[in-house]
Structure 1
Amino acid sequence: MRAGSQRTILLFALFLMACAAVLFCVSFENTPLEPYRVTSTGQSEAASSAPAASALSEEKVNINTASKEELIGLNGIGEVLADRIIEYREANGGYKDVRELTNVKGIGEKLLEKLLPYVTV
C-alpha cells in the first residue's frame, strides 16, 4: 500500500472515531434525570420564617425597640447593618425620626426609601 492511501485510511478511521464519540455523548444528553425530593430539615416552619414575617406583615417595625432579628427581617438589612442601627440607637438615646437612619453607616437615601413603608419610631 502506498503512503498516501495509508494516510487517507488513517484520517478516515480518526473521523469515524470522532463521530462515534459525538454520538456516544449525545445519546446520554437526553437521559431523564432522577426526580428529586424536598425533605424537611427538622426546623419548625414558624422558626425558620420568623425574621421574614416581620417584613411581610402589615405592622411596621419600630426601630427604637426592634431586636436584631427583627431588623434583619427587613429587606436590605443584614447582620452588620442591624448591629449599626442598634449601636446608633443606644449611643443617641433612640431615633426621633425614621430619616435618622441615614446617619447609620451603610444606609443611604436609596435604602431608606425602601425601608420607609416598613419602619416607624
Structure 2
Amino acid sequence: MPKPMLDARQQSTVASLAAVGLAIGLVWWVVAGGQSGRLIEIDQAEPVPYEFMVDLNTATWPELAQLPEVGEILARRIVETRETEGPYRTQQDLLKVRGIGQIKLLRMAPHLLPLPDDTAVAGN
C-alpha cells in the first residue's frame, strides 16, 4: 500500500481549513442574496444622478450638449456666438444665443461655472 502524502494530523488541518473556507463562502453567498440573488436589472435600476459644471468660455459643443435642454445644435450656437462675439462675461449673455430664453437659462444655470462678472453682479 502506498504511503499517504499527508499524515493524519496534516489531513485534519487541511480538512479544517477547507471547512472554514466553505463556511466563509456560504456566509458570503447568503449576504449576497443567496438563491434569490440581487442582480440589478439595468432597465429597472434607479438612475444615478451626477453633477457636472461647465465653463461657458472653454467648453466644447459636446460638453455644452450635456446641459439640460441643450442639444447639439444649440451647443454649437453657443460656441459660435462665443467665437464671433467674444467670451461670455455673465450667464445672462447666453440670452443673445438664438434658442435660449430665461427659462432655459434658469435650467442651465446650476451647471454653469460662475463667470468673473457674475460674481461682481451678485455682490451688488
What do residues 14-53 of structure 1 show as CA deviations (whole Å, max 9, x unaligned)? Answer: xxxxxxxxxxxxxxxxxxxxxxx98xxxxxxxxxxxxxxx
Alignment partner for residue 57 of structure 2, among 51, 54, 64? 64
Deviation, structure 1 residue 75:
1.1
Structure 1 gap ranges (5+):
1-36, 39-54
More helix by share: 1
Provide the residue aligned with 2:10 in structure 1: none
Q: How many residues align?
A: 69
Equivalent residue of 1:106, what SS?
A: coil
Provide the residue aligned with 1:47 in structure 2: none
User: What amino acid does structure 2 have at the position aligned with 1:89?
Assistant: R
Q: TM-score when scaled to structure 2?
A: 0.50
Q: CA RMSD in A?
A: 2.2
What do residues 27-85 of structure 1 show as CA deviations (whole Å, max 9, x unaligned)? Answer: xxxxxxxxxx98xxxxxxxxxxxxxxxx932x420010001111011111001100100
Provide the residue aligned with 1:88 in structure 2: 81
Equivalent-residue separation in structure 1 for 2:88 and 2:106 (angstroms): 17
Q: TM-score when scaled to structure 1?
A: 0.52
Structure 2 gap ranges (5+):
1-40, 43-48, 116-124
Equivalent-residue separation in structure 2 for 1:66 and 1:112 (angstroms): 16
